Amino acid sequence: MSTQKLEFPGHTGDMLAAKLDAPAHTPRAYALFAHCFTCSKDVFAASRISASLVERGFAVLRFDFTGLGMSDGEFANTNFSSNVADLVQAANFLRSELAAPALLIGHSLGGAAVLAAAAEIPECRAVVTIGAPSEPLHVQKQLGDKVAEIRSLGELEVELAGRTFRIKKQFLDDLQASTIRERVANLRRALLVMHSPVDEVVGIDNARQIYQAAKHPKSFLSLDNADHLLKKHADAAYAASVLAAWAARYLPDFERNNSDANPATDLADGEVQVAEIGTGLFANQVRAGKHQLLADEPASVGGTDSGPTPYDYLLASLGACTSMTLRMYAERKKLALRAVSVRLIHRRIHEGLRRLREHRRANCRNRTDHRLTRRPHARRAPAALGDSRQVPSAPNTRARDQGAQPAG
């Protein structure tokens, strides 16, 4: 994975700091990540989810909203509407420099922002919210009893998550005027709502309200036992893995490889088709009848790890055949076989090939010298694993065994 530091102008012209996380190969799609309220692009949930998406072939742009993190501007002059405007600017930047984002991801208030911004990003095909409020006004709860003071004084310094922020009355007014419920109903994009049932910052009922307001296609994923910020590595990695698998269905390459022009019914019984899917160096789609699988190589050798390797499939076929054969035998013999489990490992043995080459070179030298000595163990050099070819005996060796003299 490579990470490139970028910047682009926000909605007011202030330069916004960004990072583009990308795979070594051409990305399968670009995603745009919006962080939580008063957070930054470097919050653990953003960086961990971005890294996991990159491992699966996505490129992700994450940036700091105006006045936060490394971005220019004054936070006190921002609000929910300005966050939405910054998101649209980020999408415009991606469109002009690389490719428009097909996937929008928002965490907490960033989730509400991507729901509001999606209509202004026509290339967006799917939206994901993580611990998002059903309405921006929910953020006001984090200000507690300071709300009345802010309205009375016009602005006030408030401590949030151990840091001090200046909040103006205009921020509260914008929260009250902003609503996303209607935008969710008219989203016209695939939606994945991810939320923890024990989220103490944004309650699980917010997820229910977003889900009920949305139209299909929509999905819900419970992030069991996760906290609001997904501080545990396992929680962030799980969210990213499911997110990537879900989003892949709504990307152009999935539609291309599952179009009516390439139906599974065009394969005969017992016929298997393997074809590249255009994501990464090695990713292939495997079709067998109505079944569709992915094959790939790990990132360590240039793949995207989107599916098992060919060696994995080889072991799987051997293991499945063994298990099924044992079950069939037990049924026929009426044996009380409770369950079968087969575990296999493989090694790539190249030593036999090396010894085979050495043997052939030795034979060539012997022919040149016109002298052959009998080597009892050299008649058949060991071949590599899986190579059933046999090496011919050295010429005239058999004749010498019968008492004949070598030629010359």
Cα dihedral 37, 39, 42, 47, rounded to 10, equals -40
The token duo for 321 is 């055949």
Say yes or no to pLDDT of 173 above 50.
Answer: yes
Say yes or no to pLDDT of 181 above 70.
Answer: yes
What is d(CA 132, CA 107) in angstroms, rounded to the nearest whole number?
6
Confidence tier at 329 by pLDDT (50, 70, 90)? very high
The token duo for 224 is 């069991």
| pLDDT score recorded for residue 283 | 81
- Domain positions in the chain are 2-250, 254-308, 351-401
Class in CATH terms, 2-250 = alpha beta
Q: pTM, whole model, 2 decimals?
A: 0.65
Mean pLDDT value of segment 289-316: 85
What's the pLDDT tens digit per position in 377-407? 444 444 344 443 444 444 444 444 444 443 3
What is d(CA 221, CA 271) in angstroms, rounded to the nearest whole number?
36
Mean pLDDT value of segment 74-84: 95
Strand partners for 285 = 275, 294
Please tell me which residue, 366 or 355, carries the higher pLDDT value.
355
What's the pLDDT tens digit per position in 137-149? 999 998 988 999 9
Mean pLDDT value of segment 89-99: 94
